[in-house]
Chain A
Amino acid sequence: MLSKKNKEVLFNPFSKNNPVIVQVLGICSVLAVTAKLEPAIVMGISVTAVLAFANVIISLIRKTIPTNIRIIVQLVVVAALVIIVDQILKAYNYEVSKALSVFIGLIITNCILMGRLEAFALSNGPWDSFLDGVGNGIGYAMILVVVGFVRELLGSGTVFGFQVIPQSFYDMGYMNNGLMILPPMALITVACIIWVHRSRNKDLQEK
């Protein structure tokens, strides 16, 4: 089912070609939704779904799109998909839709979407594009989960809203790091991930 090329398309974005830590796309939403783990995961899933379907649709109609309005066409497809996802969440999972509020709408502005549509879907078939969308979506979601986990653990002492740092630590003088909740620490956490990732992948290092 998966040829060698398919596998590369699907798995490369996990590490060697990760949209967040290698291509440095979608940083804005990494800041916005990772103060807690749960919205980070739902955001990751939503972006993966929208990206995969947008890639397929654009790939299907790629031969008909006039070059000079291709960006507009891509935006319209993405915006329509995002609205549909938002409406479906409101109808069938109202709780999650409330928790994510504006962030679902902001998927439209995620640079990974435009990046993949422009760089991949416009020049590849639907099946490859679907895999590319899923791969990049998961690559993005992985980073969100790691950052969300670190920030929620150190910033609120919880994971998924459950207290994991025991009360005895607080009694001994441990305090939650309020700075972790604020956006700058998301950037610093991402930077640390990039640091570790590059030191393990020599070929990514610039000379």
Chain B
Amino acid sequence: MNKQSNTYTILYSAIMVVVVGAVLALTYMALKPKQDENIANDKRMQILSAVHIAAHDGDVKSVYDKYVTESFVVNVEGKEVAGDAFAVNMAAEVKKSEKAERALPVFVCHLNDGSVKYILPVYGAGLWGPIWGYVAVEADGTTVYGAYFSHQGETPGLGAEIAKPDFQNQFSGKELYKDGKFRSIDVMKAGQKPADNADYVNAISGGTVTSKGVEAMLKSCLSDYSAFLNQLKNGKTK
């Protein structure tokens, strides 16, 4: 058969596409369960990082089940609603324009010393793509116990530093409420201070857009939780 003819070329590309498509589909289906498990374990690991618990590949699930004893979903008014907190997709929730429709997951974590922390997921935008994280709040509803941030593709060495302990550890002990009002936590350049007296941490030099992204993410996501946090402040424990 003439290899330069149109018929041959068309047949060749058609067969190639079918074969390659089949191979890729098979690979995907064969590896999918393993990948889903990795993604779920990765999420568990991130949630645990917010309360400074490091889990390793093999035992993530058991460590998670030991500490995170309870999880539930609240709405903006702080009322508990039906739903599986672990399955909530924050990326979809923050896009809902009606705040009342947002499902806000809360993970309750009992530490070894008997204290209770509430872990709240946050989600926002960095410079190149989405950034997200988990903020652990003390039972008083205002003090931050720990924070974890991650990103999809921020610049290595600059914006990507938000995923490093050096940046995240700054958040421990900061307060979300100042003078009785919800203020969130600002991310400021060294030497600057927020105008509204909010608690702040140092931004990453060279990673300004990502740092400001973290600040905006905390402000918008945590303010959704402010009714829930108010309940904690007022002593209503779950």
A: which residues have CB within 8 A of B? 35-36, 39, 64-69, 72-73, 76-77, 80, 83-84, 87-88, 90-92, 94-95, 98, 101-102, 155-156, 178, 181
Contact = CB atoms under 8 A, between A and B. Distances in A.
Contacts of B12: 64-66, 69, 73
A80 B18 CA distance: 12
B34 A91 contact: yes
Given A155-B157, A181-B158, A98 B42 contact: yes
Which among B31, B42, B153 has the highest number of chain A CB atoms within 10 Å?
Answer: B31
Contacts of A91: 31, 34-35, 38
27 contacts: A35-B156, A35-B157, A36-B156, A36-B157, A67-B3, A68-B4, A69-B9, A72-B13, A73-B12, A73-B16, A77-B20, A80-B20, A83-B24, A83-B27, A84-B24, A84-B27, A87-B28, A88-B27, A90-B31, A90-B35, A91-B38, A94-B35, A94-B38, A94-B42, A95-B57, A101-B152, A178-B205
A87 B20 CA distance: 15
A48 B23 CA distance: 21
Contacts of B153: 101-102
Contact of B13 (A69, A87, A101, A178): A69
A67 B156 contact: no
Nearest to A95: B57
Contact of B157 (A65, A68, A156): A156
Given A36-B157, A90-B35, A155-B157, 14 more contacts: A64-B12, A67-B3, A68-B4, A69-B13, A80-B23, A83-B24, A84-B24, A87-B35, A90-B31, A91-B34, A92-B34, A94-B35, A98-B42, A178-B205
A35 B154 CA distance: 13
A66 B3 contact: yes
Interface string B25-43: 0011001001100110110
B27 to A, nearest CB: 5
A84 B29 CA distance: 12
Contacts of A35: 156-157
Contacts of B41: 94
Contacts of A76: 16-17, 20
A80 B24 contact: yes
A67 B4 CA distance: 7
* 3 closest cross-chain pairs (CB), A and B: A181-B157, A91-B34, A91-B31
Nearest to A36: B156
B86 interface: no
Given A68-B4, A68-B9, A84-B24, A90 B156 contact: no
Nearest to B128: A102
Interface in B177-210: 205-206
Contacts of B23: 80, 84
A39 to B, nearest CB: 7
A66 B31 contact: no
A135 B23 CA distance: 27
Contacts of B8: 66
A35 B158 CA distance: 10
A194 B185 CA distance: 48
